[in-house]
Amino acid sequence: MESHSVPARVLVVGTGFIAAQHAAAIHAEPRLELAGVVDIDPGRAAAASRANGGVPWFTDLGAALAETGADGCVVCTPNDTHADIAVQVAAAGAHLLIEKPLATDVAGARRAVTAFARAGRVLMPAHSHRHYDYALAVREAIGSGDLGAVDLVRLSILGGWIWPDWRGWMLDPARSGGHALHNGVHLLDLVTWWTGDTPETVYARGRRRTAPELGIHDYLEMTVGFAGGAVAVCEMSRGHAPTSYARRDVLVTGTGGILTLPWDAEAGTVTDESGTALLPPGGTDGFATQIAAWADALTGAPPAVTGADGLLAVAMGVAAERSIADGRPVRVADVLEEAA
Ligand X SMILES: NC(=O)c1ccc[n+]([C@@H]2O[C@H](COP(=O)([O-])OP(=O)(O)OC[C@H]3O[C@@H](n4cnc5c(N)ncnc54)[C@H](O)[C@@H]3O)[C@@H](O)[C@H]2O)c1
56 binds ligand X (CB under 6 A): no
Footprint (CB under 6 A) of ligand X, residues 63-82: 76-79, 81
Q: Which residue is nearest to ligand X (CB)?
A: 16
Candidates 56, 205, 215, 339; binder of another protein (CB under 8 A) is 205
Q: Among the candidate windows 93-101, 147-155, 170-178, 295-303, which touches another protein by CB under 8 A? A: 147-155
203, interface contact from another protein, ligand X, none, CB < 5-8 Å by kind: another protein
290 binds another protein (CB under 8 A): no
Is 68 or 77 the residue whose CB approaches ligand X more closely?
Answer: 77
Three-state SS string across the chain, please? CCCCCCCEEEEEECCCCCHHHHHHHHHHCCCEEEEEEECCCHHHHHHHHHHCCCCCEECCHHHHHHHHCCCEEEECCCHHHHHHHHHHHHHCCCEEEEECCCCCCHHHHHHHHHHHHHHCCCEEEECHHHHCHHHHHHHHHHHCCCCCCEEEEEEEEEECCCCCCCCCHHHCHHHHCCHHHHHHHHHHHHHHHHHCCCEEEEEEEEECCCCCCCCCCCEEEEEEEECCCCEEEEEEECCCCCCCCEEEEEEEEECCEEEEECCCCCCCEEEECCEEEECCCCCCCHHHHHHHHHHHHHCCCCCCCCHHHHHHHHHHHHHHHHHHHHCCCEEHHHHHHHCC
Footprint (CB under 8 A) of another protein, residues 100-139: none
239 binds ligand X (CB under 6 A): no
126 binds ligand X (CB under 6 A): yes
The number of residues that bind ligand X (CB under 6 A) is 23
18 binds ligand X (CB under 6 A): yes
Is 260 or 299 the residue whose CB approaches another protein more closely?
Answer: 260
Question: Which positions from 91 to 110 touch ligand X by CB under 6 A, shown as an x/- string?
Answer: --------xx----------
What is the nearest approach in angstroms of another protein to the Cβ of residue 41? 37
Summarize as ranges the residues that interact with another protein (CB under 8 A). Answer: 148-152, 154, 156, 203, 205, 207, 209, 219, 221, 223, 225, 228-231, 233, 235, 240-242, 245, 247, 251, 253, 255-258, 260, 327-329
